[in-house]
Structure 1
Amino acid sequence: MTDLALLETEAVAFIRDLIRIDSVNTGVAETIGDGETRAARYVQERLEDAGYATAFIETRPGRGNVVARLKGSDRDAGALVLHAHLDVVPVVEDDWTHPPFAAEIHDGFLYGRGAVDMKNFAGVLLAVARALRREGVVPRRDLVFAFFADEEAGGVWGARWLVRNRPDLFARATEALSEVGGFSVPIGDDRRGYLVATSEKGVAWATLTARGRAGHGSRPTLDNAVVRLTDAVSAIGRHSFPVVRTPAVQRFFDIVGRERGLAFGDADLDADLEQLGFVSSLIGASLRNTATPTVLEAGGKTNIIPAEATARLDLRVLPGQDEALREELERIAGDDVEIAWGRWWSATEAPIDVPLLDDLQHAVDIEDPGGIVVPYLLPASTDNKHLASLGIRGYGFVPLRVPDGFDVFGEFHAADERVPVDALRFSARATWRILRAQ
């Protein structure tokens, strides 16, 4: 008989301990300490204490990763990767009501950097992995537990490095489960939907460069690089790309539309989305490609017209839309600027009608009768994009039952990041049930 009370207790304790390890990832190597390695060692010690053989990989000083495998009974079955990242984004402590690395509990909420992104799932996976060994569970297929560094800066020293240099750690893996999804959202009549990300937007960067004739500021010229650049940036910033109904988006509309009595037709799409409350911004961002100007650089002295001006763009790309976005962006920017394409990670798209999603629904049926697992397209990006290069189909599902007005996605990277403690207990139980079904 599974000791669910012990499972819940360990999960919450592990999450709090991990939050107390400052593993901030600034994205700048010189300013990153050893927090990811200390967090990985913490995980490794508790996995080995439960009887796991672990692989600890420090891809560079301070950037620790750890992977362990629970072998299944069917050697022909594809393995399932369960992964979480151990790094967190920076904090401005003055913006926090409670210390960001103290893991304090107030009024039923656990506060701390990583409470939802994503030391919560790291702690849950660690507790569930230990429970599986404690109970002597032999799953049908291998379960690979992976704890990565550097997700917040693109996974260069975490998932991407391991996929390129240690693909053996993911041998025979066909599916993966991680962020961002699993949290409950209200869908009407006191019923909750549990979002599962079956697809993720791609992430790309581009740089616009305008050139002109340098000169003195007192003698304006029509050949001004700054003006050319700002014309292009303004056009891009105002542009709305066309709606694309991907399979994940359409399935979301089908399920939620049925529950809420909404058609989500082209004519009333914006109005119907507004009916979803805080969920509307999440789904709205999944409907279109986006190009967001983020950095402008030009000149260095007020009285000098610079010869060159640049702008950097953050691009989020729907599945199958890489070329379409490039062509449209070139058209909008016009002939007066050059576009240089930077890093480009294409979108991921996993099948919707698969047994794994049935397992997610079964766990929800037990823990929240009437809850519905709802596919959607994540407008952001996770380490699943790196695993996809090995043919591993990624899903985002970290189960959390939260109050209807609590916006879990809104807690990502926020000051006073927090999560209900009851939701963490729910997460441990639901994750246990999902992995017991494998």
Structure 2
Amino acid sequence: MSHVSPLEEEALEHIRALIRIDSVNTGDARTIGDGETRAALYVQQRLDEVGYDTTLVEPVPGRASVIARLAGQDPDAGALVAHAHLDVVPVDAENWTHPPFGAEIHDGILYGRGAVDMKDFAGMLLAIARAFRREGVVPRRDLIFAFFADEEAGGVWGARWIVQNRPELFAGATEALSEVGGFSLPLPGDRRAYLVATAEKGVTAATLTARGHAAHGSRPTADNAVVRLARAVAAVGAHRFPVVRTATLERFFELYGRASGEPLDGDDLSRLGFAASLIDAGARNTASPTVLAAGGKINVIPAAASATLDVRVAPGQADAVRTQLAAVVGDDIEITWARDIPAIEAPADGRLVGVLQEAVSAEDPDGTVVPYLLPASTDNKHLSRLGIRGYGFVPLRVPADFDVYGQFHAADERVPVEALFFGTRVTARILRDA
């Protein structure tokens, strides 16, 4: 292991301490304890120690977030929100090789729930915030350090609540930096691409309903609602929506193709290896059947059957996806839509992306920052309601065969310690110069 700086040591200390705080968010208020508040208090106390004026926001008991601001050199430059969430998804400890809240290190690998999602970035931000304050570092622009509750259940008591009820905490902010991106992917010649999420797909739900005539199960009918629904669900499962050439996707094809030395398009992403499914999901609208409901008694053919789909929508596709899905399921299936969470898209060639590249290059001269479209959602969607443009970039240089994306919500969630040190160095450069 290379020489470890005090900043890197402190970041690792905070990451491990946060992992050891069980802040599981089940999404059910009856089964959520006070872990998020305990994690927020840990952060607040350590920010207070170095002189920050912190704000603890706790809309309901146990669901706390903490926010602090560091003044920059240019009062006219929009503030940058650097944020991480303190909650984690549930664990099934039986499937773990090492204790999920033990933060144990084995063979240079840190294990624990939150190791990549996303107590790693929370610990980095905390260490950097403290170091900047102790050392009198004045960044180019104001930095707003935010540590949110409840991201894993939609930010209801975290970022969403604060945006709606305490927007003044983000006064003057124009951009935000958080998950999901920054992890290295292999390029030819022992080089690496570091993906930055400059866009996120929108989210909605579609419910398919088939109707027929109720009848006795002993007398099959030609309009059995369950059968018709099953056909529609199978059609959705087999359908592949067309590639949507968003500005972000075009930029990805351009930069990744140039860096790899071979043109890339949406029809064949196989050479991206384990990242292919991620990029493909961001390149098109998707619909995943997730909930089925039909009947209640084995000898009764029900009059109706329904299926709910998780629909992820590329930027600018809110109307098109509805037309496309209707064509897939056919005229005899009713479709009802839930409220949309719109897609977000920040400039893929903005100044901040250039700062990310410079910071990566300082630590990995052969590293190339490449924008991509995240098929999921982060707290950046909530901040976007205040006009804040969100980017996902938690820089981790990992071995070519290490799938960081595969660690999210997985058993034995883990990350190389050296990657955390790399991320701390790069993030410190970004926050100083952004």
Q: Determine if the TM-score, normalized by the shorter chain, exceeds 0.5.
A: yes
8 A contact 1:411–1:417 mirrored in 2: yes
Q: CA deviation at 1:224?
A: 1.9
Task: Name the TM-score, length of structure 1 as normaliser.
Answer: 0.96
What residue in structure 1 maps to residue 377 of structure 2?
381
Q: Secondary structure at the match of 1:285?
A: helix
CA distance in 2, matches of 1:256, 1:434: 22
8 A contact 2:20–2:102 mirrored in 1: yes
Q: Which amino acid aligns with 1:156?
A: V
Alignment of 1:344-383 (within 5 A): 344-383=340-379
8 A contact 2:359–2:430 mirrored in 1: yes
1:4-23 CA-partner distances (Å, limit 9, x unpaired): 72211110011011111111
1:218-260 CA-partner distances (Å, limit 9, x unpaired): 1222232212211221111111111112122222211221232
1:246-292 CA-partner distances (Å, limit 9, x unpaired): 122222211221232322246xx31xx21221121221111110001
Q: CA deviation at 1:75?
A: 2.1
Alignment of 1:56-67 (within 5 A): 56-67=56-67
What residue in structure 1 maps to residue 427 of structure 2?
431
8 A contact 2:121–2:394 mirrored in 1: yes
What residue in structure 1 maps to residue 325 of structure 2?
329
What residue in structure 1 maps to residue 166 of structure 2?
166
**How many residues align structurally?**
432
8 A contact 2:140–2:432 mirrored in 1: no
Q: Secondary structure at the match of 2:339?
A: strand
What residue in structure 2 maps to residue 93 of structure 1?
93
CA distance in 2, matches of 1:43, 1:81: 16
8 A contact 1:4–1:429 mirrored in 2: no
Q: Which amino acid aligns with 1:309?
A: A
Does 2:300 match 1:304?
A: yes
Q: Which amino acid aligns with 2:398?
A: V
CA distance in 2, matches of 1:22, 1:254: 42
Alignment of 1:121-140 (within 5 A): 121-140=121-140
Gaps spanning 5+ residues in structure 2: where?
A: none
Q: Secondary structure at the match of 1:68?
A: strand
1:377-407 CA-partner distances (Å, limit 9, x unpaired): 1111111111111110000000111111111
Q: Secondary structure at the match of 2:340?
A: strand
What residue in structure 1 maps to residue 249 of structure 2?
249
Q: Which amino acid aligns with 1:379?
A: P
Q: Secondary structure at the match of 2:331?
A: coil
Q: CA RMSD in A?
A: 1.4
Q: Which amino acid aligns with 1:282?
A: L
CA distance in 1, matches of 2:432, 2:261: 36
Gaps spanning 5+ residues in structure 1: where?
A: none
Q: Secondary structure at the match of 1:248?
A: helix
CA distance in 1, matches of 2:165, 2:255: 41
Q: Secondary structure at the match of 1:369?
A: coil
Q: Pick which of 297-306 and 43-52 moved more.
A: 297-306
What residue in structure 1 maps to residue 283 of structure 2?
287
Does 2:178 match 1:178?
A: yes
Q: CA deviation at 1:215?
A: 2.2
Q: CA deviation at 1:376?
A: 1.0
Q: Which amino acid aligns with 1:225?
A: A
8 A contact 2:86–2:119 mirrored in 1: yes
What residue in structure 2 maps to residue 315 of structure 1?
311
Alignment of 1:135-150 (within 5 A): 135-150=135-150
Q: Secondary structure at the match of 1:315?
A: strand
CA distance in 2, matches of 1:295, 1:394: 31
Q: Which amino acid aligns with 2:195?
A: L
Q: Secondary structure at the match of 1:51?
A: coil
What residue in structure 2 maps to residue 26 of structure 1?
26
Alignment of 1:149-228 (within 5 A): 149-228=149-228
Return closer, same or farther for 1:52/1:265 CA change in 2, 3 Å cut-off.
closer
Task: Name the TM-score, length of structure 2 as normaliser.
Answer: 0.97
8 A contact 1:79–1:172 mirrored in 2: yes
Q: Pick which of 178-187 and 67-76 moved more.
A: 67-76
Q: CA deviation at 1:138?
A: 1.9
CA distance in 1, matches of 2:245, 2:403: 24
Q: CA deviation at 1:50?
A: 1.3
Q: Which amino acid aligns with 1:137?
A: V
